[in-house]
């Protein structure tokens, strides 16, 4: 189990540094006080991991600005640290304030019809593990049935059931819930959002 955890952490590190290596030089060069806003720092730097499913969702977490600043300066788990020459103190404060007040996403940014088509295609094996109301066969029982997904409070028993979290989880389940048995099946961000939109149409049946 410990070896699995180490391998998982190493994989996240590789993914994080691979994404960071794609940040163009001119973007990092803005770190000497010329960042326009905390949102710009988030979009151009943080979002490369935290909006792609590599890193955890950090919007709407209600951390104080100083906590975000500590994560950025000192790193956290697989997340690397950023020097003041990369994100200066003023920009870091603005980033922390932006994230602290960022609203929790309540909108599903995806297409439910496309999501159902992806699930029904069988290409990603959803029905092999889950019973899905709109799919007659197979009716997997390895994972929980997906009916009522819209009304559940948690994803994988531990993550808040929000559209942004669900899309990130679908794209890379082990990154958000290391103990899950659900594999990374190679969904793009758009595909994950579409499937999330479909899952939120699966309301629980009315009780007696």
Spot the catalytic one: 15, 78, 156, 167.
78
- Residue 16 annotated to the active site: no
Residues 6 or more apart in contact with residue 166 via CB below 8 angstroms: 155, 196, 199, 200
Catalytic annotation, pick one of 15, 79, 192, 197? 79
Active site residue 70: no
174-185 in b/e form (b: 16+ CB < 10 A) is: bbbbeebebeee
* Contact criterion met (CB below 8 Å) for 71 and 128: no
Query: Mind telling me the catalytic residues?
Result: 78-79
């Amino acid at each position: 189990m410990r070896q699995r955890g180490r391998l998982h952490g190493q994989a996240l590190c590789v993914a994080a540094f691979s994404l960071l290596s794609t940040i163009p030089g001119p973007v990092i060069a803005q770190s000497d006080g010329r960042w326009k806003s905390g949102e710009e720092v988030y979009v151009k730097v943080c979002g490369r991991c935290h909006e792609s499913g590599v890193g955890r969702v950090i919007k709407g977490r209600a951390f104080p600005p100083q906590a975000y600043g500590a994560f950025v300066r000192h790193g956290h788990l697989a997340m690397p640290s950023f020097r003041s020459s990369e994100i200066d103190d003023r920009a870091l404060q603005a980033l922390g304030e932006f994230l602290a007040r960022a609203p929790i996403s309540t909108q599903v940014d995806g297409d439910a019809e496309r999501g159902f088509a992806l699930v029904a295609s069988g290409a990603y094996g959803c029905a092999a593990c889950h019973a899905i109301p709109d799919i007659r066969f197979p009716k997997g029982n390895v994972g929980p049935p997906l009916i009522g997904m819209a009304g559940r409070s948690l994803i994988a028993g531990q993550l808040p059931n929000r559209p942004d979290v669900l899309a990130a989880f679908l794209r890379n389940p082990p990154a958000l819930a290391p103990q899950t048995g659900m594999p990374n099946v190679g969904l793009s961000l758009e595909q994950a959002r579409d499937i999330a939109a479909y899952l939120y149409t699966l309301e629980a049946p009315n009780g007696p």
